[in-house]
Amino acid sequence: MKGGESIHGEPSPWQSIETAPKDGTVIQAEIPGHGSDNLIWWLEGLVDSDCNDCGGWAFVEDQEPPGCWTDGICWASNEDGVASVQPVRWRPTGLILRSKVMGWNYRPEQ
């Protein structure tokens, strides 16, 4: 089964980004002006410009993020003080990404 496909080999339906998992699951996301082949995941443990703990959508691989995403992360307010373009839809990829102290660990969804 390829990313974005259902168990029957058909594309999984797109869902609103508000329903996307924030547990280390890699998703395929549609980002306005940036297409729909973006592989992202919710990253916790970030600190915003006001020194508050926060989380944000982050690119998983070496994909070119939108210019308004600072360091490949979608911020409420980026380094220029402008809101990043938010993903609007998602669908499953079949991957789970677990953050490690100094690296990444990919494993297929069970």
Q: Which sequence spans correspond to the domains of the chain?
A: 15-108
Q: What is the average pLDDT score of the chain?
A: 81
The model's pTM is 0.75
66 and 73 in contact (C-beta within 8 Å)? no
Distances (CA, A) of 60 to 53, 65, 72, 88, 98: 21, 10, 9, 17, 11
Residue 106 predicted with pLDDT over 80: no
How many CA atoms does the CB half-sphere of 47 hold within 13 Å? 2
Cα–Cα nearest to 89, from 42, 8, 20, 21:
20
**DSSP letter assigned to residue 102:** T
Residue 4 predicted with pLDDT over 60: no
Q: What is residue 35's predicted lDDT score, i.e. its pLDDT?
A: 95
Mean pLDDT of 41-58: 90
Q: What is residue 11's predicted lDDT score, i.e. its pLDDT?
A: 66
Phi, psi of 17 (to 5 degrees): -60, -25
Distances (CA, A) of 68 to 22, 28, 30, 95: 21, 19, 15, 26
